[in-house]
Amino acid sequence: MADTDQNPIPVTPGNSSAKKVLIVEDEKPLADALEMKLKHEGFTVARATNGQEGLTAVLSFSPDVILLDLMMPVMDGKTMLRKLRDLPQFKTLPIIVLTNAGTVDNIRETQTFYNASEFFIKSNVSLEAIVTKIKELV
């Protein structure tokens, strides 16, 4: 992947009718695995490494669904989610929270308060389960 300062929104080309997924994740190995799996499933993918880049990517990439980590540098996922939900055009955009941070109750509270579509604990979920959920939402 290119240096994020030079290309903050790397996009993997896909079929022009393919659904678009934005991965907002600072853990490169996980983001790489998600991108590879989603490309294999026919999705067009863009990536951001923090919430600030994620907000920029949402506006330029217009994803059909977002995979969003909560704990990231610059701007965390909760802040990004709140800012997105404050904009009318993104109130119903499907957002799947992926995190290892906090308790299940804390994560559920985030899901409810910010209207996340789903949440998964990273260490307890397979790539296949994430793809299945994306397909359900788009």
* Domain ranges within the chain, ordered by starting residue: 11-137
Q: Is a pLDDT exceeding 50 seen at residue 2?
A: no
- Topology of domain 11-137 in CATH is Rossmann fold (3.40.50)
Helix (H) or strand (E) holding 91: none
Q: What is the pLDDT of residue 1?
A: 39
Q: Which residue has the tokens 């993104």?
A: 90
80-125 tens-digit pLDDT: 988 998 888 888 899 988 887 666 666 666 666 667 877 888 888 8
Instruction: Say what percent of the chain tops pLDDT 90.
Output: 39
- Under 8 Å between Cβ of 47 and 35: yes
Q: Where are the alpha helices (DSSP H) in the chain?
A: 28-40, 51-61, 77-85, 104-114, 127-137
The pLDDT, as a whole number, for residue 111 is: 65
Rounded distance between C-alpha atoms, residue 117 and residue 134, angstroms = 10
Query: pTM of the full predicted structure?
Result: 0.82
